[in-house]
Structure 1
């Protein structure tokens, strides 16, 4: 009976895990056309293994160890994949995209770290380092500093540069950007400097922050992220491999084809666990109504 209950719980845990995986992939697909959106991946891990022993197994060894048993899986967390998305030209002067390929020097070798397809570098000691990423800095309605890769900006009636949700875009000095001549003055070079009609810097710069550990960012909606670690970012510096493209926006980095395959896999895994639950349910029914009756 204990084995039946254990199997029932394992299958139920699998159903819950696949449901969360399904929800994550569905969210990715629904944001496939959202500018600056970063794909989320569900991290699935197993529960800690337990030792199975037999009471009175051998003389002098009342708890003979049989072996280890896994007790199911769970969806531990959902991690955003902060990789560069494709650029889409819009022709709008208020649209901006960040193109970044920031490097990190390995202190042990003195060479640049090589990052894999998920933006991770695993050192010889197993330490994981994520590639730093650049973000536009904005200010929400409560005056809090936030970060975004969605550069679909607009110019307000008083010359302030705003996000599509109405939040103020900040400059390199963490102050809201206000254009003296309105939208006509919004010309930005690849370094983020705002230029006047003659192509000369006006003294204002788009605020771009470099987040050293982008996986520490927390999503808040409207394409915004917050960073709880105040020391986890710095402003863009000369020499950083980051450029600003005006008249472009960064598309979502969601792979629609891969997401559909993963969605189908999650659905099938859910159905398989569901059938296992039904099997154990019928076994328990027989144990109670037929075997128990005897």
Structure 2
């Protein structure tokens, strides 16, 4: 009977984590470039009470085993595309494909993001392209992108990230820089670090510049990628998780009542 108590308790713990992940998805339904997650589970160790044993056509053809519950094993990120929302802001960029923008964070480390809502930061008279946090956006040579003396409204970005602008004589000029967009061999191995950023790990592999990839992404200026969270889908998952949690609690209650009956046999 004690086995049932611990098994059901493992189910309640697993469903609690499941609800935590679903809640995080729902809370980020309006987060630019957010990618939803789901929890994967595995069953735990089995106790074999009787093994299958067939000799010369006779014996038990099946095993008698009892499991010990469930445990969460991983959270998987779904990198499906979110809807593209038109903003008409020349500093908003969306990636149609599997790429990530590269930025330099406060620790001078390179981080990656799908959030292309960039801004202009003025420091010491220099205008620099940055994220909302003030992190510098990088070109394909890991250099910061400066827009000093350029009318931001005339800035244009090509499908593969080439930066151009219109000068005072209405002539299109190249900035000489290209937005860095990279891909990873295994996006599921990326580590989410918050603020819409991810960092590579040994599981994801090193970032690969899109110029070295056949299946390139396309940049779209004046658009932002919305979250790929589907509210109705998450609500259904939430209801299922709640019912599973409730059923496991009922199993604990039933086990407790059966133990109480067994204890009362001596009276």
TM-score, normalised with respect to structure 2:
0.87
Q: Kindly tell me the number of residue pairs found equivalent between the two proteins.
A: 247
Change in CA separation of 1:88 and 1:11 when aligned onto 2, cut-off 3 Å? same
Partner of 1:97: 94
Aligned: 1:236 with 2:233: no
Report if the CA contact (8 A) 2:184-2:205 is conserved.
no
Q: Please report how far the alpha carbon of residue 250 of structure 1 lies from its aligned counterpart in structure 2 after TM superposition.
A: 0.5
Give how far 1:185 is off. 5.2
8 Å contact kept, 1:179–1:185? no
- Which runs of 5 or more structure 1 residues have no equivalent in the other structure? 55-64, 101-132
CA distance in 2, matches of 1:270, 1:199: 62
Range with greater deviation from structure 2 (45-54 or 85-94): 45-54
- 229-238 or 161-170, larger mean C-alpha shift: 229-238
Structure 2: gaps spanning 5 or more residues: 52-61
1:262 aligns with: 237
Question: What residue number does 2:18 align with?
Answer: 21
Give the C-alpha shift of residue 251 in structure 1.
0.7
Report the equivalent of 2:114.
149
How far apart, in 2, do the equivalents of 1:204 and 1:184 lie?
A: 17
**Distance change >3 Å, CA 193–CA 32, structure 1 → 2:** same
Aligned position for 1:70: 67
Following superposition, the deviation at residue 200 of structure 1 comes to 3.2
Question: What corresponds to 1:191 in structure 2?
Answer: 160
Question: Per-residue displacement from partner, 1:106-133 (whole Å, max 9, x unpaired)?
Answer: xxxxxxxxxxxxxxxxxxxxxxxxxxx2
What is residue 80 of structure 2 aligned with on the other side? 83
Match of 1:112 in 2: none
Please name the residue that 2:246 is paired with.
271
The corresponding residue for 2:38 is: 41
Whole-angstrom distance in 2 between the partners of 1:215 and 1:134: 13
Q: Secondary structure at the match of 2:175?
A: strand
